[in-house]
Amino acid sequence: MKEKTFKKKRKRLIFRAVLLVVMAGLVVFAIFSSRNDDKQVIAKGEKAPNFQLEKFGSDGETLALEDLKGKGVMINFWATYCPPCKEEMPYFEQVYSKYKDKGVEFVTVNLDSTDLVVQKFINKYQLSFPVLRDKSGEVMDLYNVDNLPATLFVNKDGEIVDKVIGELTLDKLEGYLKEITPED
């Protein structure tokens, strides 16, 4: 009789433990789902959210997107460990001066955490455009960037014209830059 009662209590304990694990799983799922729902979607035609980051290699000088009102802006998210980022950087440098003179600014947002590695990269590719640091990934999250490289093209009105995930070729880059070049 005692053994029968013990087995019954054991089954009840196992059932309750399983029920508790399932409920805990549902709570975790609900929390995770609600975090993803809160994420702002960044798409074509929407206003590019403003951000302000420190320029790499400056003594605390910052650049905000709203400082570039009236200009076309290319925002590129990159890191030194990203092979496609390495491939497209020479294209950016090649056309930077040409489009800067036409009213298009290049804003590159680096996601590395080590200054030495970033400086070596900038030196290697002789980058002359502003490199901003986003060590915490705050701006990357703001723009819903999950994969690198990611490039957004913003027109003079601050609207996102295109968002490109992956490496750009020189031809594609120039095509997008022409779209955001302010008219004279």
- Kindly name the residue from 53, 79, 85, 109 that is annotated as catalytic: 85
Query: Active-site residue 82, yes or no?
Result: no
Write the DSSP assignment of the chain as a string of letters: -HHHHHHHHHHHHHHHHHHHHHHHHHHHHHHHHHHHHHSPP--TTSBPPP-EEEBTTSSS-EEEGGGGTTSEEEEEEE-TT-HHHHHHHHHHHHHHHHHHTTTEEEEEEE--S-HHHHHHHHHHHT--S-EEE-TT-HHHHHTT--SSSEEEEE-TTSBEEEEEESPPPHHHHHHHHHHHSPP-
Q: How many whole angstroms separate alpha carbon 78 and alpha carbon 147?
A: 9
Q: How many whole angstroms separate alpha carbon 141 and alpha carbon 36?
A: 11
Instruction: Write out the catalytic residue numbers.
Output: 85
